Each structure stands twice: as structure tokens, then as C-alpha cells.
Structure 1
Amino acid sequence: MKRVDVAYVLLFDEKKENVLMVKNKGKADSYYTLPGGTVERGETLEKAAIREVKEETGLDVEVGGIFSISEVFFEESQHHVIFFMFQGTIIGGQLNISIPEEIEEITWMAREKAEEYIHFSSEMNGLINQPSIVPYLPRGKVVTKVGGS
């Protein structure tokens, strides 16, 4: 199985009542997710999350801590996917579908309805109402000396 990291961003409207969701064009059916996508080689989770939100929605965001981490095994594609969901804040940009071949719709969805699409299992219901997050601490690059002291 191939490991794939995906970074999503949970964005609320000003009243914290609605969540920004994108409707992706799937092979068989379209489906809703948080804005986000695959982390590219050499890219941090944070940079991937910010880039993906911009590409999919036209919005500029900053991300805070991790809202949740989940994983799933996709048997058909042989992918082991780790989903890193950041909490984020919109800091600029304009809502815009810039990749219509991938994104069918961008919508503000009631938080309870959005939660149905965010998690793979019902035991996580209600998590979207929890204010706590885990800090995201990018540590940069580590260079080790080879040989000698």
C-alpha cells in the first residue's frame, strides 16, 4: 500500500454556524469534503493546506492547530491515507472555482450537515463543536553531520 498524506482546512463563517465545503467531481459520483488535498513531496502539511484551499476556493487562509487526524485504507487504490484536518481562518481572497474540472461547487454548509461529510464514522459526531485543537509545530529541516564529531 502507498501512504498518502492529505491536508484539509476547517473554515467557519463569521457566526461559526456554517462550514466551507467543496463538492469534488468523483469518478462515479460527486462528493463533499473540506477544502484541501494531497501533500506534495517536500511540502509541509501547513503549506499544502494553504495551497489547496487557495487552488480550490480562491481564498487565502492561515491555519492554526490540528482539528483532527484520521486514517483510512482504500483497498481498491491500495492507498493508506492519513487526513490532517487543520482549523483555519480566512484572511483574504474571493470565493472562486479555479479548477472546474475537479470542483463542482463551493458552499457554506450548516456545521451539523458538514460533519456528516468530514468524518468516516458516526462515533465522531459532535467533534465539530469541540473548541480544542492540538498545536501544529513545524520543526523545519534537520541536518545531521556525517562522520566525525
Structure 2
Amino acid sequence: MHKEFRVSSRRDYYKDPNAPEANSLVPGGSVLVTDSAGRILLQRRGDSGNWSLPGGTMEIGETLEQCAIRETKEETGLDVEITGLLGIYTDPEHVIEYADGEVRQEFAVTYLGRVVGGEIAVSRESTEVRFVGVDELAGLTMHPTVRLRIEHYKERRVEPYLG
């Protein structure tokens, strides 16, 4: 069955000399969740078809950790707890342009986590949610910055990535 993807109201630029200049910085959080078999929880984005970690932007009145937990629940149906910090990603060469003229520089903190409840469910932002084996990752379409986070996870770093 072929899934239709919604027209995106955003465009990601990564290491692109033609990218527009950033005019905004908004903190965001995501969680790299694994199951007991070491598979990684991914969602297929409805706007691009790319596979991604669950996450989103912080709201006033919450911590970034709370943001990451909330966004994971909203996007996957799963309740998670944070078990560590994978890294802080603030690369000025990754900008996201929105239809309203906002151009955000990447500012994402990616946590490590595990499932503590809930059931996998597709949200209005995704077309598929599932745990993916490391051996399946190469065949999936994903943004290079998501692939970078997964590579950092696979390296089993002792210290979080800071960059």
C-alpha cells in the first residue's frame, strides 16, 4: 500500500551553501528509545516520509526532559523514561525553513530512553511507528542529522556528543 505524504511546511537544509540564514533558535528534545532487543523506536514522518526519532519543541512551563517525554508519547503512543543523554546538537549548518519565513538553527537535545508503558500508535504527524533493528537502518530514508544521532548511539559513547 502506497502512503501519501503531506506537503511539508518546512524544508531542512544541511551543509547547503544555498540555505537561508537562520533567524530563530528554538530548543527541541528527542529520545532515542530502544527495546530489550536493541531495536530503535522510529517514526515515519507524515510531511516528508523520512524516518526520525520522536521529538519536538519545548513549551513554556516544561523542562526539556519533559518536552522529550511528552513529544514521544504524542508521536508514538509510548510512555518513556529518560535513562541518559546521547548528545546536544546545535550545528549552525543545519537550518529548517518554515513557510511563514522562520528559519531555525538546529538546537536539539537527544536523550536515551526506554519504554515504561503505553502502546505503539501512529499520530497525525506520522504514517508509521515501529522498532527498527540496526541491520535495517541502512535501507531507511532519513535526514543525515538523524543518522548521525543513531551512529553516536551505536558507538556506545561514554560521554554525550556536544556539537
Q: TM-score, normalised by structure 1?
A: 0.73
Q: Which amino acid aligns with 2:116?
A: I
Give the superposition deviation at 1:30: 1.8
Q: Is the 2:30–2:53 Cα contact (8 Å) retained in structure 1?
A: yes
Unaligned runs of 5+ in 2: 1-22
Deviation, 1:111, is 2.5
Residue of 59, 64, 89 corresponding to 2:78: 59
CA RMSD of aligned residues (A): 2.6
Distance 1:33 1:53 in 2: 11
Give the TM-score taking structure 2 as reference length. 0.68
Cα distance in structure 2, aligned partners of 1:123 and 1:55: 24
Contact 1:34 1:118 in 2 (8 A): no
1:31 aligned residue: 50
Unmatched 5+ stretches in structure 1:
135-149
How far off is 1:11 after superposition? 0.9
The AA in structure 1 aligned to 2:32 is: L
Give the whole-Å Cα distance in 2 for the aligned partners of 1:20 and 1:88: 10
Q: Measure how far apart 1:127 and its partner are.
A: 1.8
Tell me which amino acid in the other structure corresponds to 2:129. I
Report how many aligned residue pairs link the two structures: 129
Q: For residue 66 of structure 2, give the secondary structure of its aligned residue in structure 1.
A: helix
How many angstroms does 1:118 deviate by?
6.6
Structure 1 residues 83-125: Cα deviation after superposition (integer angstroms, max 9, x where no partner): 111000111111112x33x111102222251797375297777
